Chains A and B, each alone.
Chain A
Amino acid sequence: DQQVKQNSPSLSVQEGRISILNCDYTNSMFDYFLWYKKYPAEGPTFLISISSIKDKNEDGRFTVFLNKSAKHLSLHIVPSQPGDSAVYFCAATPAGGTSYGKLTFGQGTILTVHP
């Protein structure tokens, strides 16, 4: 039972253009959402997060949008740079209770930004 889904295994974008990575979830208990970036042979690194009380969070070139009614979030990177090429994971967790901090990850999307 995949509670967090990233339906696009890969995405290819030209440098300078916008990259849009999508993520869907099924568990209505999820209250906090995160995006992680992973380079080969390294652990994932935290990129940006959003609480369910917001619908948008922006940090420099990275913006995360949350649509709670659709159980959908997206990560926008603009402008995209070749150094952004990596695997991007969407993750979600309830805000409290016994599952506090336990992240459920999507399968990842490989982003390739071409010069």
Chain B
Amino acid sequence: ETGVTQTPRHLVMGMTNKKSLKCEQHLGHNAMYWYKQSAKKPLELMFVYSLEERVENNSVPSRFSPECPNSSHLFLHLHTLQPEDSALYLCASSLLGGTSWDTQYFGPGTRLTVL
């Protein structure tokens, strides 16, 4: 596989469920990102990991818990979500310190619906 992959592509969960989103990058990058895209709103950066260390947490509620076990994998653990958390969750990766202004490459996203 090449690029950035995300699983699952679609997820429906109840407010009391616990689920996890997975992201994997095959680009040799050293930074990974989680974004949230709600209807009719610009993309919102949630978390940034650089060299497996969380370097940014953009005031995200604690019901979202990221994990980055290595530079190729990123998880977003979800628990007790609210219906307003329904959105497209996009993962991205980039090569920090490289050229091209650290261009971020995105995965296909997970479309999450919270009932």
> Are A and B physically bound partners?
no
Residues of chain A touching chain B, judged by Cβ–Cβ distance below 8 Å, are none
